[in-house]
């Protein structure tokens, strides 16, 4: 098992451009989460999927952000018309939902976005 | 808004000492609690999970949970310089959302 992978690891873009990030979860995991983390803060929830269904999206997320998980495997996060405030580490995590509260979540290495 | 509070630190301890990290949470209905370690520039790494009141030990790490007080702690025994990192407390609510504290920075001095 290779763990959660994310691509690219770093992305530098100009303000106004669109960017797309990919996450490949641990193969048997049915839940996939996206987070954003800025310096000195903990990860901030963006959205999550159970299989291919997007179950919740943060109200903090503007309409410029969209995520998909078309076949219940990998997921993509797209940011349209990037702004300098979008500069952050974007983290993906996956878990396997068990009955009860047990639900350990494992993170990928993250994609660091810099918007110039 | 569900909140997870941690002292930002830095917490400085000498090598070989016990480091004690604390976390409080606002959602009384939460059932799942986690500690992550995050080195600078890296992603969080899960080190402990705890679901029941009391203590859970794993090697040099002990997690403690008190749901009545809405309090979670992490003890690191025999602290090593390699333990120097930011420790994130995370809480999962009944809707499968995870909430993270801002982390406590731990410095272990040789």
pLDDT digit string, tens, across residues A16-40: 999 999 999 999 899 999 999 999 9
pLDDT tops 90 at residue A2: no
Q: With CA atoms as reference, report the closest residue to B90 among A7, A20, A91.
A: A91
Q: Which residues of A touch B3 (CB under 8 A)?
A: none
Q: What are phi and psi of A86, to 5 degrees?
A: -80, -10
Q: What is the DSSP string of chain B?
A: ---EE-----EEEETTSPEEEEEEES-TT--EEEEEEE-TTS--EEEEEE-SSEEEEETTEEEEEETTTTEEEEEESS--GGG-EEEEEEEE-TTS-EEE---EEEEEE-
Top residue of A25, A34, A40, A42 to mutate, by most chain B CBs within 10 Å, is A42
Token couple for B18: 């016990």
pLDDT tops 80 at residue A100: no
Q: Whole-angstrom Cα distance, residue B46 to residue B48? A: 6
Q: Whole-angstrom Cα distance, residue B61 to residue B46? A: 12
**pLDDT value of position A113:** 98
Segment A49-83, tens digit of pLDDT? 999 999 988 887 778 999 999 888 999 999 999 99
How close is the nearest chain B Cα to the Cα of A18, in Å? 24
**pLDDT value of position A25:** 96
**Sheet with strand A19-24: strands edge to edge:** A5-7, A19-24, A75-79, A65-68
Q: Give how far Cα B93 sits from Cα of B34, B76, B98, Å.
A: 12, 26, 7
| A-B C-beta contacts closer than 8 Å | 64
Cβ neighbour number for residue B70 with a 10 Å cutoff: 17
Cα dihedral: B38, B44, B46, B48 (round 10): 50
Q: Which residues of B touch A106 (CB under 8 A)?
A: 46
> Cβ contact (<8 Å) for B97 and A48?
yes
Strands (E), A38-86: 44-50, 53-57, 65-68, 75-79
**pLDDT value of position A28:** 87
Top residue of A43, A53, A55 to mutate, by most chain B CBs within 10 Å, is A43
**Which residues of chain B carry a pLDDT beneath 70?**
none
Q: Whole-angstrom Cα distance, residue B39 to residue B92? A: 22
């Amino acid at each position: 098992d290779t763990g959660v992978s994310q691509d690219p690891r770093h992305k530098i873009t100009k303000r106004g451009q669109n960017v797309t990030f990919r996450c490949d979860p641990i193969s048997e995991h049915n839940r996939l989460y996206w987070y954003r983390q800025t310096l000195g803060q903990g990860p901030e929830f963006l959205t999550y999927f159970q299989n291919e269904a997007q179950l919740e999206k943060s109200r903090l997320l503007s309409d410029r952000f969209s995520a998909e998980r078309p076949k219940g495997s990998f997921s993509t996060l797209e940011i349209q018309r990037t702004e300098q405030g979008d500069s952050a580490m974007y983290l993906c995590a996956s878990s396997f939902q068990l009955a009860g509260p047990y639900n350990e979540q494992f993170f990928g290495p993250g994609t660091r976005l810099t918007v110039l | 808004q569900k909140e997870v509070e941690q002292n930002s630190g830095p917490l400085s301890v000498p090598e070989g000492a016990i480091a004690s990290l604390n976390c409080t949470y606002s959602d009384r209905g939460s059932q799942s609690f986690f500690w992550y370690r995050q080195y600078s520039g890296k992603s969080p790494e899960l080190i402990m999970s705890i679901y029941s009141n009391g203590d859970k030990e794993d090697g040099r790490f002990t997690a403690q949970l008190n749901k009545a007080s809405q309090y979670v702690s992490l003890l690191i025994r025999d602290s090593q310089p390699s333990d120097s990192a930011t420790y994130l407390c995370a809480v999962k609510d009944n809707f499968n959302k995870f909430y993270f504290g801002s982390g406590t920075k731990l410095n272990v001095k040789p």
